[in-house]
Amino acid sequence: MKILALDSTAGTSTVALCENERLIAEFSLNGGNTHSETLLPMIAEMLKSCSLLVKDVDVFACAAGPGSFTGVRIGAATVKGLAFGSGKPCIGVSTLEALAYNLHGFDGIICPVMNARRGQVYNALFSSTGARICDDRALSIEELCAELADKKETVWLCGDGADITFNGFANRVNAKIAPERFKYQSAFSVAQVALAEYKNGVRTPDIELSPVYLRLSQAERERLERESGSLENIERLKSK
C-alpha cells in the first residue's frame, strides 16, 4: 500500500512516499513558511522521481494540526485536492504525534513542543514506545515545566518550540533537545502514524478531512473581542 504524506504545520515543508513501513522517498525543505509555493512542486518532483502518478497512491495523509493556522490549512487542502474524486482515503494525524514518532525508541519522555505564540506551546507527552501520556493541548512553558519538574526520566524536546522551551525550563527539568535530524517535522513519521490509523480502521473521505487548531486564530480572537466590546457598549447604553 502506497502512502503519500505531508506536513506543512510549521516552518518545514516535508513530503514522503512510503510502501507501508518502507520509505520510498522523502523531500524536506526547512526554509520558512512558503508552503503554498513549495508543497505541490515537491510532491510532483517526488512522484516523477519514483516514476509514479497521483493515481498510483492508495492513501493520502497529512499532519492536520495543531500548528500554524495557514500551514495547517494548506496541508489539509493539498491532501483533499490530491484525493478529490478518487475514492482514495485521507487520514489526518496529530502533528505532535508525528513529531513524537521521530524519537520512537529514545529512552525517556518524548515531549514535542510547537511555538503557539502568545507565551504558549502546543504540546503532548508520549512514552518511548509512542504511547500517549496526555492529549494535544496548548499551555504555557511554565505550566509544562511544573508538570515535568519532578520527572526522573530524560525529557526529549522536539519541534520548533524546543529551544524556547528548553531555555524556559532553566535547568528545572531533566530535558534534552533532540538531535537536529529528528527535531523537526518528517513526512515519513506522518505516514507511519497514518498507517497505524489505517490499520485501526480509519478511513476519511476527502470532503470530511478537517484541520485541528486547538484554539482560535488571531483574527477570530480579535473579532470576538470586538463583538464583546460592542455588546458591553450596548448594555451600558441600556442601563442609562
Q: What is the pLDDT of residue 85?
A: 87
Residues 80 and 23 placed together within one structural domain of the fold: yes
Each residue's pLDDT tens digit in the chain (240 positions)?
999 999 999 999 999 999 999 999 999 998 766 899 999 999 999 999 999 999 999 999 999 999 999 999 999 999 999 999 899 999 999 999 999 999 999 999 999 999 999 889 999 999 999 999 999 999 999 999 999 999 999 999 999 999 999 999 999 999 999 999 999 999 999 999 999 999 999 999 999 999 999 975 454 445 545 655 554 554 455 454
Nearest to 109 by CA among 89, 124, 121: 124
Query: Cell numbers of 235, please?
Result: 448594555
Residues 66 and 131 placed together within one structural domain of the fold: no
In a domain, 116, yes or no: yes
How many domains are contained in the chain?
A: 2
Q: How far is CA 40 from CA 58, 161, 165, 204, in A?
A: 18, 26, 32, 21
Residues 80 and 154 placed together within one structural domain of the fold: no
Residues 90 and 55 placed together within one structural domain of the fold: yes
In a domain, 34, yes or no: yes
Residue ranges making up the domain that contains 205: 2-95+185-221
Nearest to 78 by CA among 112, 114, 37, 109: 37
Q: Which residues of the chain form beta strands (DSSP E)?
A: 2-7, 12-19, 22-30, 59-65, 90-94, 109-117, 120-123, 137-140, 155-158, 175-177
Residues 90 and 207 placed together within one structural domain of the fold: yes
According to DSSP, residue 54 is labeled G
Residues 127 and 105 placed together within one structural domain of the fold: yes
Torsion angles phi and psi, residue 21, rounded to 5: -80, -10
In a domain, 90, yes or no: yes
In a domain, 41, yes or no: yes
Q: What is the pLDDT of residue 31?
A: 78
Residues 62 and 80 placed together within one structural domain of the fold: yes
Residues 30 and 70 placed together within one structural domain of the fold: yes
- List CB contacts of 170: < 8 A, sequence separation 6 or more: none
Q: What is the pLDDT of residue 227?
A: 56
In a domain, 136, yes or no: yes
What CATH number is attached to the domain comprising 34? Answer: 3.30.420.40
pTM over 0.85: yes
Q: What is the pLDDT of residue 176?
A: 98
In a domain, 76, yes or no: yes
Residues 89 and 12 placed together within one structural domain of the fold: yes
In a domain, 227, yes or no: no
- What CA–CA distance (Å, rounded) separates 83 from 207? 9
In a domain, 226, yes or no: no
Q: What is the pLDDT of residue 34?
A: 85
Residues 113 and 149 placed together within one structural domain of the fold: yes
* Cα 186-214-88 angle, rounded to 5 deg: 55
Residues 102 and 176 placed together within one structural domain of the fold: yes
Domain boundary pick from 131, 165, 183: 183
Residues 124 and 194 placed together within one structural domain of the fold: no
